[in-house]
Structure 1
């Protein structure tokens, strides 16, 4: 079977996008060229790599085997490029990173802007997912890094403390619940809520905990961002559950009050996760050290890390 790095990158992008069109766009290739390359790989191998369906493609068993090796090869190439970058004009590479709602909206923008400004040769594909989806993606080698709530099972992953990130209830000023010292989800589940759009990581997280109570939260409106959510709450439309960092940031301008949540799952930390720090390409390790903000300790941790490590660098 004759394949090159472009074939491997294309096939990986198609599998992640779920369509040949999406994979072609991610590889900066025309649809016709992408389809021809994939057909060529299938002809060389003598078996289908993809099942073409009406709404996209599904990877066959042979395709999953190719996918596994493609990821290994491309990661090794990125590692080589990163290490050789030490001798040239600097690090180069691409980082695939998945984060939950709080990390992507409240904590990461400033951190990543500083990193990208300092490293012109490195790009980051940042996407929002729920914490459960992120740890599954890491274990299946779909992404390089993830930032998740420490409430999910992290076995088999190296993980390090990133930020404290408790969730809290936000209510309008003067609301009957504004003076409460703490509340559980069970106590507020029948309230009218203002929330994030369906499919957002925080929305799915809250829906999951409501289902465990036998409840389904009632939303008057769902919005795309935490700032909009807080402002609508401030106008008396309903109550909301947001990361405490967002409640503090928008509290005065949105005219809201925050009330701590007493549920154990609401008292959480965000952790930066990966399969293994030592196995990451150099440019990804560089991002890890920047995100955690402690280069010297990061370097020492990389030498002694085991996949089951559960300590932070804080």
Structure 2
């Protein structure tokens, strides 16, 4: 015999009314049908659940235990119905993902379309911010989930490794720095730069590192995206810093030189960050699992 929720509710109706007859009426079935259903439950569990007397029924100890479990199951079934209601009615579930500029431009465009196609009732709001600001927002509770650079201190958060995300210097082919195979950030900052607009998180991160080195970067031009920067650098206007992934992609279109950058700040990893992943809403947990399952797609061949 399979115990169904109708039987559970019938049992609780009998408990609530203290009467097999009244419980049957509340469940809209006959007294005989109710009695047979209760007998089958008692047979299934080999336990007497009620003591029947002239004025009604009284729970046994086994019946009291069954009552507590039945109440939990009924409550869980109602929660399940509420959780599934948005899907059955075609309603959308919204998530907000905070991310730095590299994640937003180089990684998520490759991963999000598949997720959104597979989950048509989901909407994802991307908020670009500098990693330290994302960390602070998650710590304060104004953000739930973020993708940050592993260079920044996130000890108060839970993190999961998402992808390698090294930075490189790109130069015009005839630039004097092209003789170098690798450079420290300090070796580059006295040359004219082509940079991102000031609101970009990577740009803020570059300028924060320059400030630590007590150097003011000279910008010949600021542009809104990596594609524009790559094109301008190739013409000889200046040098620039961008994610290695972006540089490889645009090097197929524009003729410039890539140079490795040395140091923890440049050889960074992208991390998924949250206060507690297990306490995120189910939709966020599902999204995190998807992102982690796609990590192999992000690996760059050397």
Q: Is the shorter-chain TM-score for this pair beyond 0.5, marking a shared fold?
A: yes
- Rounded Cα–Cα distance in structure 2 between residues aligned with 1:182 and 1:92: 48
CA contact (8 A) 2:134 2:148 kept: yes
Structure 2 residue 229 is the aligned partner of structure 1 residue 225: no
CA distance in 2, matches of 1:146, 1:287: 12
CA RMSD of aligned residues (A): 2.2
Q: CA offset at residue 142 of structure 1? A: 1.3
SS in 1 for 2:152: coil
Instruction: Trace 1:36-75 onto structure 2 (pairs within 5 A).
Output: none
1:81/1:93 contact within 8 Å kept: no
**Pair 1:185–1:294, CA change in 2 (3 A):** closer
| 3-state SS of paired residue (1:264) | coil
User: Pairwise mapping of residues 46-125 of structure 1 onto structure 2 (< 5 A)?
Assistant: 83-84=83-84, 88=88, 92-125=92-125
Query: In structure 2, how many angstroms separate the alpha carbons of the residues matched to 1:253 and 1:239?
Result: 17
* C-alpha contact (below 8 Å) 2:231/2:254 kept by paired residues: yes
2:191 paired residue number: 191
TM-score normalized with structure 1 length: 0.65
Q: Give me the whole-angstrom Cα distance separating, in 1, the residues matched to 2:206 and 2:290.
A: 31
Which has the larger displacement, 156-165 or 234-243? 156-165
What is aligned with 1:146? 146
**Structure 1 position 276, deviation (Å):** 1.1
Q: What is aligned with 1:67?
A: none
* CA offset digits 1:19-58 (Å, max 9, x no partner): xxxxxxxxxxxxxxxxxxxxxxxxxxxxxxxxxxxxxxxx
Q: Deviations over 1:232-252 (max 9, x none)?
A: 100100000000001110013
Q: How big is the shift at 1:166?
A: 0.5
* Structure 1 unpaired stretches of 5+: 1-78, 296-314
Q: Distance in 1 between the 2:81 and 2:152 partners?
A: 34
CA distance in 2, matches of 1:239, 1:231: 11
CA distance in 1, matches of 2:111, 2:190: 38
Report the count of equivalent residues.
Answer: 217
Encode CA deviations 1:241-269: one digit per residue, 9 max, x unaligned. 00000111001311111101112210110
Q: Is the 8 A contact 2:185 2:261 kept in 1?
A: yes
Q: For the residues of structure 2 that align with 1:278 and 1:185, how far apart are their CA atoms? A: 38
Give the distance between the partners of 1:152 and 1:174, measured in 2 at CA: 35
Secondary structure of the corresponding residue to residue 266 of structure 1:
coil
Contact 1:82 / 1:281 at 8 angstroms: preserved in 2? Answer: no
The equivalent residue for 1:287 is: 287
- In structure 2, what is the equivalent of residue 266 of structure 1? 266
In 2 relative to 1, CA 80–92 (structure 1 residues): closer, same or farther, beyond 3 Å? farther
CA distance in 1, matches of 2:81, 2:228: 42
* Alpha-carbon distance in 1 for matches of 2:93, 2:160: 23
Structure-1 separation of matches of 2:186 and 2:82: 50
TM (normalized to structure 2)?
0.68
Q: Give the drift of 1:88.
A: 4.5
Give the secondary-structure state (helix, strand or coil) at the position aligned to 1:160: strand
Q: Give ranges in structure 2 of 5+ residues lacking alignment.
A: 1-78, 296-302
Partner-residue secondary structure (3-state), 1:124: strand
